[in-house]
Copies of this chain bind each other. A is one copy, B any other.
């Protein structure tokens, strides 16, 4: 919260419930709420021991704050620190984390606390979903991307040589704490990558939210209370869709807006710093709008607004914005066809009738996609 001169106060600003029957949970959003995480955990999981899984970068910056909070609340804990970076989302690191959890004698009533970005959340979430066939999970995401996307909805996983996130489980957390203050320590590029996912919720089915972001994105980036508002709306957008379709039988696929193109771009750039996931989503979303426009579905004006906003924020929006050599259309198609959102051979895409009106198209012909990509690469 800010007073008249914009100073920030700590505390909870919103609680977003995720309605999933006996797997329901809350996302608590606020500023500096890691400081009170211990009390919240003690209240919700009395007696549980906590295994903090984090990476070395987050540990250096924030682990002391978290541990002090757990200690103050009398919550017992151990810590498992992994190497930062996408490379840790592997079977090998999974086995090592699982082994550490067993070594720490975790019981079914105990909890894993994933403290980090998407890599930590996906890996620790997967480990918590398989150790003793599932123990409790608390997510304290430390990137904007993880706060509005990967920490919510129960998808966990690791990568394999054959692709990203092709192996994992659905395992819902018991609690998500999204601390807007912790994002102050993020590099701008990482923050922006997460912002693409925030804007995505407006583009999927909340045109008013997208319009609000067009006017308020600087306050979101600056960490004013608008940031907490944006996180809360994005989390609610995801929570609503996940509640309707926990296991992605249908509507949940809407969350993949921009992701089919995006995953292919990540694959051809080796999932490297050349292109962050959120940056790939940014380009993918703009491509999805462009493709929808070419198919006569989306007004030109909406496509232009999306590209203009992402450009203003500082996100890449075109394939040519990626540094280094570009892949050809056939290579991109190869990755698209390998993507897991394939049903008995047909390509599924999330297309749009305009801002706030995305939909699932289940039988897009591959040659149309390839022709579109060739055109985009020639630009």
A54 vs B104: C-alpha distance in the bound complex, in angstroms? 34
Residue of B nearest to A94 (CB): B91
- Please determine whether A247 and B157 come into contact, CB atoms closer than 8 angstroms: no
Contact B344 A107 (CB under 8 A): yes
Interface pair B95/A91, CB less than 8 Å apart = yes
Residue in contact with A133 in the complex, picked from B132, B157, B344, CB distance below 8 Å: B157
A152 nearest CB across to chain B (Å): 16
Please tell me if the beta carbons of B162 and A99 are within 8 angstroms of each other in the complex.
yes
The complex places the Cα of A166 from the Cα of B132 at a distance, in Å, of: 5
| Residue A366 is within 8 A (CB to CB) of chain B in the complex | no
A166-190 interface mask toward B, CB cutoff 8 Å, 1 = contact, 0 = none? 1111100000000000000000000
Answer yes or no: A129 CB below 8 A from chain B CBs.
yes
A134 at the interface (CB under 8 A from B): yes
Q: Does chain B have a CB within 8 A of A102?
A: yes
In contact, B169 and A133 (Cβ under 8 angstroms): yes
List the B side residues contacting A344 at CB < 8 Å.
47, 107, 109
Residue count of chain A within 8 Å CB distance of chain B: 35
Question: Do residues B91 and A166 form an inter-chain contact, with CB atoms below 8 A?
Answer: no
A163 touches B (CB below 8 Å)? yes
Q: Is A155 a contact of B167 with CB atoms below 8 Å?
A: no
B107 touches A342 (CB 8 A): yes
CA gap between A359 and B344 in the complex, in Å: 47
A295 at the binding interface (Cβ < 8 Å): no
Tell yes or no: A369 within 8 A of B by CB.
no
Asked if A160 is at the interface of the complex by the 8 Å CB criterion, the answer is yes
Flag if A340 contacts B98 (CB, 8 Å). no
* Contact between chains at B169 and A130 (CB < 8 Å): yes
- CB 8 Å contact bits of A120-141 with B (1 = contact, 0 = none): 0000000001111110000000
Instruction: With both chains docked as a complex, state the minimum distance between the C-beta of A362 and any C-beta of chain B, in angstroms.
Output: 13
Which one of B162, B169, B343 lies within 8 Å of A109 (CB-CB)?
B343
* A61: interface (CB < 8 Å): no
Assess A168 versus B133: contact at CB under 8 Å? Given A99-B162, A162-B99, A162-B102: yes
Among A331-379, those with CB < 8 Å from B are 338, 340, 342-344
- Give min CB distance, A345 to chain B, whole Å: 8
Measured between C-beta atoms, what is the minimum distance from A297 to chain B in Å?
Answer: 26
Q: Which residues of B contact A157 (CB under 8 A)?
A: 133
Contact A107 B169 (CB under 8 A): no
How far, in angstroms, from A91 to B102 measured CA to CA in the complex? 14
When distances are taken between beta carbons in the complex, the residues of chain B under 8 Å from A133 are 155, 157, 167-170, 247-248
Taking CB atoms and an 8 Å cut-off, the chain A residues in 225-247 that contact chain B are 247
A166 to B101, CA, bound (A): 11
A301 CB–B CB distance under 8 Å: no
8 closest Cβ contacts across the A-B interface? A102-B162, A91-B95, A133-B168, A130-B167, A132-B340, A98-B167, A102-B166, A169-B169
- Please name 16 further chain A to chain B contacts, defined as beta carbons within 8 Å, in addition to the given A102-B162, A133-B168, A133-B248, sorted by A numbering: A47-B344, A95-B160, A98-B167, A102-B160, A108-B343, A109-B343, A109-B344, A130-B130, A130-B167, A130-B168, A131-B166, A131-B167, A132-B167, A133-B157, A133-B170, A133-B247
Sampled A-B contacts (20; CB under 8 Å): A47-B344, A95-B160, A98-B160, A98-B167, A99-B160, A99-B161, A99-B162, A103-B162, A105-B338, A108-B340, A109-B343, A129-B169, A130-B169, A131-B166, A131-B167, A133-B155, A133-B167, A134-B170, A134-B247, A169-B169
State the A residues within 8 Å of B (CB): 47, 91, 95, 98-99, 102-103, 105, 107-109, 129-134, 155, 157, 160-163, 166-170, 247-248, 338, 340, 342-344
